[in-house]
Structure 1
Amino acid sequence: MRSGDQLVLLLIIGIIGIALFMGLRSRLNKSAQSKWVLVPDEEIPVTDAVALLENAGYEVMTTKRKIPIRMLVDDQEELFSRYFVDHFAQSEDKWYVVKIARSRNPFEMRGSSIRDQLLPYQLIYLEAAGVLYVDVSLQKIVKIQFELEI
C-alpha cells in the first residue's frame, strides 16, 4: 500500500464513522419524540357533550376516534379489539382525552373504577394532561389526572 492509500482509507473510515454516528443520533431523537400527532377535525357536530365542554372553556378538537388493538396469545392466536375515544379537547396548552358517560355502562367514581376504565386512555396517550369524563345528564365534567408512583 502506498502512503496516499492509507490516507484515503482513513478518510473513508472517518466518513463512515461520522455517518453512523449521525444516523444513530437521529434515530434516538426520533424515538424520543412522540409518534402520535393530534390532528384536529375540520368540523365538530355540536352535541350536548360538545356544548358542555365548550361552555366549560374547552375547545373540542376531534370527533370519535377508534384505537385498534391486535393481540397475539401464546405466539399463535391472534385476537382483535378496540378502544374508542369520544373526543380530544384542549384548554390552554394542555389537551385531554374525553370519555362521555353512557347509561348502559354506569361508572362509579371510585379509585378502582377510574383505574380500570380510564387509565388505559392515559397510558395510550401519554402526552395527554388527563381524561375528561363528561356526564351530560348531570351536566358535569370531571377532570382526572393520573400520577404513577413507581
Structure 2
Amino acid sequence: MEKFGDGLLIMIAAGLIVWWAIRRFDRWLHEPPGSRLRKLAQAGGVERDDAVELLEDQGFEVLSGKHRIPLGVVVGDEPSMPTRLYFDYLVSRDDKYYLVKLDRPRQPILWTASGLREKLLPYALLFPDCEGIVVASAQERQVKIVRFKVEAGE
C-alpha cells in the first residue's frame, strides 16, 4: 500500500518541475533582442590577421571569430543528416552587430541579387538581430555591408 510520504514527494517534485518550466519560458519570452549575439561574442576568441586589421580600420570592433553553427537536415522519413554553417567573425559598430564572411578566391561571392541571396540569406535568417552581413576582402582591402529587406509583393 502507498504511504502518504510517497505521494507528497511526487507532488513536490511535480510542482518544482512545473515552476522551473514556467520560469524558463518567462525568461526566454522576456530575453532582450541580441542576447544570442552577445553570447556568441563572449564565446569565441580572435586571432590577429589581415582581415581583423581591415575590419578595425573600417571602424568595426571584432568581438569573436570563427563560428560554426551545427544544423540537421531531414528529408522525408530519413534520419537527420548533420551539416554546418560557418561565418568568420562577429563584429559591432555603433552598438549594432554584424556577421562577417570573408570573400575567398576559392569560394567567390557572386555580386548579383540571386548570388548574394544564395550565399548570405541563411545567415540573415538565423540571426535576425544582426544589422547586416559584412563581406570583407583582405586581398582587395574592401568591406561591403549586405542587408536583406522584404519588399511588397505585386
Normalising by structure 2, what TM-score? 0.74
From 20, 24, 27, the counterpart of 2:25: 27
Q: Is the contact made by 2:64 and 2:89 (CA closer than 8 Å) also made in structure 1?
A: yes
Question: Which consecutive residues of structure 2, in runs of 5 or more, have no partner in the other structure?
Answer: 1-17
Pairwise CA RMSD of aligned residues? 2.5
The AA in structure 2 aligned to 1:95 is Y
Q: Which runs of 4+ in 1 moved over 6 A?
A: none
| Structure 1 stretch displaced more, 56-65 or 34-43 | 34-43
Give how far 1:104 is off.
Answer: 0.6
Q: Is the contact made by 2:72 and 2:83 (CA closer than 8 Å) also made in structure 1?
A: yes
Give how far 1:149 is off.
Answer: 2.8
Provide Cα deviations, 1:95-129, integer angstroms capped at 9, x if missing partner. Answer: 10000011111112110011000111111111111
Which is greater in Rg?
A: 1
Whole-angstrom distance in 1 between the partners of 2:42 and 2:59: 17
Give how far 1:28 is off.
Answer: 5.8
Give how far 1:135 is off.
Answer: 0.8
Q: Sequence identity, in percent?
A: 27
Note the 1:3-82 alignment, pairs <5 A.
23=22, 27=25, 30-31=28-29, 33=31, 36=36, 37-40=39-42, 43-82=45-84
The AA in structure 1 aligned to 2:91 is A
From 103, 107, 110, the counterpart of 2:109: 107
Whole-angstrom distance in 1 between the partners of 2:55 and 2:139: 13
Q: Residue 118 of structure 1 corresponds to which residue in structure 2?
A: 120
Q: Is the contact made by 1:61 and 1:88 (CA closer than 8 Å) also made in structure 2?
A: yes
Q: Is the contact made by 1:41 and 1:61 (CA closer than 8 Å) also made in structure 2?
A: no
| Structure 1 stretch displaced more, 131-140 or 39-48 | 39-48
Change in CA separation of 1:148 and 1:52 when aligned onto 2, cut-off 3 Å? same
Determine helix, strand or coil for the equivalent of 1:137: coil
Whole-angstrom distance in 2 between the partners of 1:70 and 1:110: 28
